[in-house]
């Protein structure tokens, strides 16, 4: 019987994956995502940051979509910028540029998403695939002895599948 890899064999260790405390601002989170993507020359493209509390307990995650939603909210969802007569927002020229820096000072705890699922380091890859497909996830935190030890992403799973299928 061939050896089937465990999640721990494909995961990215937490020490190698960008993560931040909940009190960081949106601006700091954007800088970390940008630096991580550039610093690793495209080898690791972190599109989701993990958010921790003071005791290093996982609080949530922050995707690029969360970051963008965090800075655009004031412009498109607030009643101040919405026409009372129409159901659609009114986009005045300059609103985005003028308010984006102010919105970027909010803490990430205001915009982070809850972690939907986790997987154990000793679980099989097929279990991780099942959960990720079922819940439409691209990344899951990996837990070992009650602590987050890394992340597993669809990228690493796809690379493993391609090795098996193509015989690389």
Q: Is the pLDDT of residue 107 over 70?
A: yes
H/E element holding 33?
helix 26-39
Q: Is the pLDDT of residue 42 over 60?
A: no
Smallest CA-to-CA distance from 48 within 148, 142, 151 is with 151
Smallest CA-to-CA distance from 7 within 129, 114, 117 is with 129
Query: Average pLDDT for residues 71-91, to the nearest whole number?
Result: 60
**Dist. CA 10–CA 46, nearest whole Å:** 16
Tokens representing 62 are 């922050």
What confidence category does residue 100 fall into, taking pLDDT thresholds of 50, 70 and 90?
confident
Smallest CA-to-CA distance from 119 within 163, 78, 152, 87 is with 152
Query: Average pLDDT for residues 21-31, to the nearest whole number?
Result: 95
| Residue 107 dihedral angles phi and psi, to the nearest 5° | -70, 150
Q: Is the pLDDT of residue 75 over 70?
A: no
Q: Are β-strands 139-144 and 147-153 bridged in parallel, bridged antiparallel, or unpaired?
A: antiparallel
Cβ atoms within 10 Å, residue 112: 22
**Dist. CA 157–CA 136, nearest whole Å:** 14
């Amino acid at each position: 019987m061939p050896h089937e890899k465990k999640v721990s064999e494909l995961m990215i260790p937490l020490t190698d994956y960008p993560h931040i405390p909940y009190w960081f601002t949106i601006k700091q989170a954007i800088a970390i995502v940008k630096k991580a993507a550039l610093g690793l020359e495209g080898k690791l493209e972190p599109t989701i940051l993990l958010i921790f509390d003071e005791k290093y307990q996982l609080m949530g995650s922050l995707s690029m979509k969360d970051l963008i939603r965090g800075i655009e909210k004031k412009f498109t969802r607030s009643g101040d910028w919405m026409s009372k007569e129409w159901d659609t927002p009114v986009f005045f020229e300059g609103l985005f540029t003028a308010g984006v820096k102010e919105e970027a000072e909010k803490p990430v705890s205001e915009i982070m998403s809850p972690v939907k699922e986790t997987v154990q380091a000793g679980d099989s890859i097929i279990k991780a695939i099942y959960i990720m497909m079922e819940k439409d996830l691209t990344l899951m935190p990996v837990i070992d002895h009650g602590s987050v030890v890394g992340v597993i992403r669809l990228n690493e799973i796809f690379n493993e599948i391609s090795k098996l299928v193509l015989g690389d």
